[in-house]
Amino acid sequence: MEQKILDIKNNALSEIEKAASIKDLEEVKNKYLSRSSELNNMKKSLKDLDPQMRPKIGALTNEVSKFLEEQLQVKYDEFYKIELNQKLQSEKIDVTLDGTYNPIGRVHPLTQTQNEIVEIFEHLGFSLIENQYSPEVEVEKYNFDLLNVPKEHPARDVQDTYYTHLAPNVILRSQTSNAQVRQMQNSRPPIKIISPGRVYRNESVSARKNNLFHQIEGLYVDKDVNFGHLKGVLNEFIRLYFGSARPTRFRNSFFPFTEPSAEIDVQCIMCQGKGCSVCSGSGWLEILGSGMVDPNVLSAVGIDPDVYSGFAFGMGIERLAMLKYAIDDIRLFFNNDERFLKQF
Ligand code: DAH
């Protein structure tokens, strides 16, 4: 019996000696010291031994277990240090290396400009209308008919409308003015809204023109709205957008849906009115179209023109951004060149 225990001890010791990793040590421990190990079975069967032998054998098994545990621990500590060092070496981080460059996106200059314009009109009491009243794929009725543009009227050609194959009367809207009509059909005065969005025109692309661009439409209909209100609101818009009161000029114009109509010019931002290449020598820059809503337009949507009146306006967002930031080519907004976009 004694010899057997000593054999176990020696075998275990030589296996501990041979172990090459913490994992090996765990296997040795399991084999010699677990509940089902030979040594433990001996402890359990002490009661079957000759009572005279029991204390001696009992003490010897305990002693051997304890000794093996100690030996395992010593070896374990050694391996732990080695493995930790290896890990520290292999997982070492060089904090002086360059980091990865994660570019942060930014809001597109056109969106920034649109947000700025929207904010100014909200400040002046206008509500932002979302897209449900101004679809980009539109029927002629809302882009032209209800805006007092008769069939065969040259104005339909003036805006070089894109027709689709969906149906003969389905077009890509050429102006955000469709939003006015849809809004008036769906609500009653007082109406005071702005509606931004994309518009399409079949133009040859150049530094000044793109076949897709953005407009903001505005409409104010109530009792007793007059041209003075139009002037007041749009002058205030210009003051807030360009940062100071700039000389403006209301020029007589024509739009089928307004009467009278006016185009508004601001004094040239580049030359302060002296005349330069940006303003073609005139000292003025056109920034928007506007006018008093034509009584025919009100009647067509069931608003009584004898009771209500209104003004409307429409402006190109690209144009306003180009003037404010002195950008000389509209195509820059659509090329997605980071060198351009990063400046905003
Ligand atoms: N829709 C016009 C255009 O695209 C701009 C415009 C002019 C809008 C006068 C209006 C307006 O609402 O009253 O050229």
Residue closest via CA to ligand 1's atom 12 equals 313
Residues 233 and 328 in one domain: yes
Residue closest via CA to ligand 1's atom 10 equals 313
* Tens-place pLDDT, residues 61-111: 999 999 999 999 999 999 999 989 999 989 888 888 888 888 888 999 999
Residue 262 per-residue DSSP state? E
Omega before 305 cis (within 30°)? no
**DSSP track, 82-97:** HHHHHHHHHT---TTS
Asked whether residue 287 is assigned to any structural domain, the reply reads: yes
Six token digits for residue 126: 């206008």
* Tens-place pLDDT, residues 14-34: 999 999 999 999 999 999 999
Q: For residue 159, what pLDDT band results from cuts at 50, 70 and 90?
A: low
Atom number, ligand 1, closest to the C-alpha of residue 199: 4
**CB atoms < 10 A from the CB of 257, how many?**
24
Residues 85 and 143 in one domain: no
Q: Ligand 1: does its nearest atom lie under 6 Å from the Cβ of 175?
A: yes
Residues 262 and 135 in one domain: yes
Q: Where in the sequence is the domain holding 305, given as residue range(s)?
A: 109-341
- The Cα-based distances of 80 to 28, 114, 222 in angstroms read 16, 64, 84
Task: Domain count for the chain, please give it.
Answer: 2
Residues 39 and 72 in one domain: yes
Q: Which residues contact 246 (CB under 8 A, 6 or more apart)?
A: 238, 239, 266, 267, 269
d(CA 189, CA 222): 5
Atom number, ligand 1, closest to the C-alpha of residue 291: 13
* Tens-place pLDDT, residues 193-245: 999 999 999 989 988 889 999 999 999 999 999 999 999 999 999 999 998 77
Has residue 156 got a pLDDT over 80?
no
Distance 177 CA to ligand 1 centre (A): 6
Q: Which of 61, 90, 119 is the last residue of a domain?
A: 90
Has residue 278 got a pLDDT over 80?
no
Q: Which of 90, 117, 141 is the last residue of a domain?
A: 90
Q: Ligand 1: does its nearest atom lie under 6 Å from the Cβ of 217?
A: yes
Six token digits for residue 231: 């002037």
Residues 85 and 140 in one domain: no
Residues 188 and 332 in one domain: yes
Q: Which of 62, 90, 118 is the last residue of a domain?
A: 90
Residues 180 and 67 in one domain: no
Asked whether residue 102 is assigned to any structural domain, the reply reads: no
d(CA 45, CA 37): 13
Alpha carbon 79 to chain centroid, angstroms: 52
Q: Ligand 1: does its nearest atom lie under 6 Å from the Cβ of 183?
A: no
Most confident of 10-14, 192-196, 265-269: 192-196
Atom number, ligand 1, closest to the C-alpha of residue 174: 4
Distance 255 CA to ligand 1 centre (A): 7
Asked whether residue 289 is assigned to any structural domain, the reply reads: yes
Residues 152 and 14 in one domain: no
Residue closest via CA to ligand 1's atom 3 equals 175
Q: Ligand 1: does its nearest atom lie under 6 Å from the Cβ of 133?
A: no
Q: What's 275's domain CATH number?
A: 3.30.930.10
What is the number of H-type helices and E-type strands within the chain? Answer: 13, 10
Q: For residue 131, what pLDDT band results from cuts at 50, 70 and 90?
A: low
Residues 12 and 125 in one domain: no
Asked whether residue 104 is assigned to any structural domain, the reply reads: no
Asked whether residue 47 is assigned to any structural domain, the reply reads: yes
Phi, psi of 101, deg, nearest 5: -90, 115
Write the single-letter amino acid at 219: L
Predicted confidence at residue 331, as pLDDT, reads: 94
Residues 76 and 225 in one domain: no
